[in-house]
Every structure is written in C-alpha cells, then in structure tokens.
Amino acid sequence: MNQVLQLITLGDIFSALSFVAAVAGAVKAISAATRRHVEKAMKPVTEEIKRVDMHARRLELLLLLNNQPAKADVIEQCYDEYKAAGGNSYMDSAIKEWRELYERDIIRERLLRPSGAELKMEN
C-alpha cells in the first residue's frame, strides 16, 4: 500500500481534481441547457393551462352569480381568488351589479335571522 501512495504525486492529485471539476462543469452546463430547452418547450402548455384556469374561474363566478346569488361568502371568496390569480376587470361590472342587487337583502336577512346561540337559548 505504501508503494502505491509513494507513486502518486501532487500533480496526479491535481490532475484528478481537475478532471472531476471539468466533469462537474459539463454536467452542470448540460443540465442548464436541458432545463432551458424543457422550459421553452413547456411555455405554450403553461400559458394554455393558465388561460383555461382563468376561464374556469370566470365561469364558476358567472354560474354562482346566476344560479346561487344568495351565497355571498362563496361568491366573494371566488371573486377574490379570481382577482388574486390575475383576473382582469371582466367580472368587475358583474360583481358590482350583483352587490347592488343582492347585498342589501342578504345583509338584512342575516341581521334578522337568529344565530345558533339564540336558538339554543330559546329551547
């Protein structure tokens, strides 16, 4: 074993380290190029997914406004999520109209409706 160690010089060690560094650099360059290529190839797919997601959010809001306008909490949550996801002003006028038509009635109904605690006290 000592004879083998005596034959290895500092130059051999530096050569081996240089080779390892070169291989690591090559692997890093190849992985970066591959990542860029995959990202470029996936960009149209990603954009289409975002477009379909926004369409689904918009459709969900429209369905709620038309079919279940009394579900104020759900509608407001969906609208907030729509805007947070980058939704444009397309739904702003529909939400504004819904708020004008239904918000007052819903608030009045909630104020007049007994809470769960009041119902327990009556029993």
Per-residue pLDDT tens digits for 34-58: 999 999 999 999 999 999 999 999 9
Predicted local confidence at residue 72, as pLDDT: 85
- If DSSP codes are grouped into helix, strand and coil, which group holds residue 123? coil
SS3 20: helix
pLDDT of residue 112: 61
State residue 101's pLDDT score: 82
State pTM to two decimals.
Answer: 0.56
Write down the pLDDT at residue 62.
92
Q: Which long-range contacts (CB under 8 A, 24 or more apart) does 46-53 make?
A: 50/86, 53/85
